[in-house]
Amino acid sequence: MMTSFFKEISDTEFDLLRNVIFKESGISLTDKKKALIQSRLIKRLRILNLDSYKTYYDYLIQNYNNEIENLINSITTNKTDFFREIKHFEFIKEKILPDFEKNGIKKIRIWSAGCSTGEEPYSIAVIFSEYYKDKKMPDIKILATDIDTNVLMSGKAGIYRNEVLEAVSTDIMHKYFKRYNDEKINSWIISDSIKEMVYFRRLNLLDEEYPMNKKFDLIFCRNVIIYFDGNTRNKVINRFYDYLNDDGYFFAGHSENLSHFSDKYYLIGNTIYKKKT
């Protein structure tokens, strides 16, 4: 049994592991992230009963296809929230949806790239459902993708603890969530009507090919590229261009400025971008 006196990760071990992480996910770890890597990986070492990060690295190399998923799942930062960066949702409600309605749009395709545990795609689905509650709902599909298979599993389940739902109003809670029957934790499950709008799939933004053959009206990639280095940000942001309809909208995280990485978009406000065509 390992103890809290577990050996610290050495510089060499850190380099070996961060190189693999970068190659596989684009997540770029500076020297300051050494302690973070150590704390994120210690659970894997315990599970595998390994006594150092070098033995973990050797294990990874020998069992690459099985272990790489666990390594990436341990490293990703999955912080998210319902209605995070509320201005984006207000913009959808006040500008995008009235425009869609005015233009008689019957089919809407949305991509939440780096969706984490589902709060982002489900928030989008709720905003659309609320807008169309007394109107004929267009055909809306939200593709929710992430590299981390654990968060995708939670997203699909759609079960959230009470404290995760703080940003959700009582009215929305009553309409779109049901109490989840679990004696141990006080939790809620998202309603079937919302779940049915969202498709969770694994997608690594670094992949050479993305499997989608249609473009999207809205793309959300918020608080994902901040973990990448400059080149990867540039590559990924430019690739989104090909997946966005000419009159579509791209939503970045509030600290992410696309103009640093691409000249293919222009800002319309609150880290919401449109394509230059």
User: Least CB distance from residue 273 to ligand SAM, whole Å?
Assistant: 15
Torsion of CA 36, 187, 251, 196, to 10 degrees: 130
- Kind of pairing between the strands at 107-113 and 216-221: parallel
| Interatomic CA distance for residues 92 and 160, integer angstroms | 24
**Counting contacts by CB under 6 A, is residue 123 touching ligand SAM?**
no
Which region among 133-141, 155-163, 169-177, 216-224 touches ligand SAM (by CB under 6 A)? 216-224
Closest to 109 measured CA to CA, from 153, 148, 144, 83: 144
Structure tokens at 249: 């909208």
Nearer of residues 54 and 141 to ligand SAM, judged by Cβ: 141
Please, which of residues 141-180 interact with ligand SAM by CB under 6 A? 146-148, 151
Query: CB of residue 209 vs ligand SAM: minimum separation in angstroms?
Result: 14
Q: Nearest distance from residue 227's CB to ligand SAM, in Å? A: 6
User: Shortest approach of ligand SAM to residue 79 CB, angstroms?
Assistant: 5
Cβ nearer to ligand SAM, comparing 84 with 109: 84
- The token pair at 132 is 């169309």
> Are 214 and 244 spatial neighbours (Cβ–Cβ below 8 Å)?
no
Which one of 194, 224, 252, 258 is in contact with ligand SAM (CB under 6 A)?
224
> Binding of ligand SAM at residue 201 (CB under 6 A)?
no
Sheet order of strands, 216-221 included:
198-202, 139-146, 107-113, 216-221, 244-252, 272-275, 265-269
Alpha helices by DSSP H, 158-200 = 170-176, 192-195
Residue 271 in the binding site for ligand SAM (CB under 6 A) = no
| Contacting residue, 13, 18, 26, 252, with ligand SAM by CB under 6 A | 26
- Which residues are designated catalytic? 40, 146
Lay out the site mask for ligand SAM across 103-122 (x = CB under 6 A, - = otherwise).
-----------x-x---x--
Question: Computed from CA positions of residues 107, 112, 118, 121, in that sequence, does the dihedral angle turn out positive or negative?
Answer: negative
Residues 222, 233, 237, 243: which binds ligand SAM (CB under 6 A)? 222
Q: Does residue 256 interact with ligand SAM by CB under 6 A?
A: no
223 contributes a contact to ligand SAM by CB under 6 A: yes
Bridge-based pairing state of the strands 265-269 and 272-275: antiparallel
Select from 76-84, 134-142, 157-165, 184-192 the region that touches ligand SAM (CB under 6 A).
76-84
25 within 8 A of 206, measured Cβ to Cβ = yes
Q: Are strands 107-113 and 139-146 parallel, antiparallel or unpaired?
A: parallel
Give yes or no for residue 75 binding ligand SAM (CB under 6 A). no
Regarding 206 and contact with ligand SAM (CB under 6 A), the answer is: yes
Using alpha carbons, select from 125, 145, 136, 132 the residue that is nearest to residue 191.
Answer: 125
- Which one of 28, 77, 245, 270 is in contact with ligand SAM (CB under 6 A)? 77
List interacting residues with ligand SAM (CB under 6 A): 25-27, 76-80, 84, 114, 116, 120, 146-148, 151, 204-206, 222-224, 227, 253
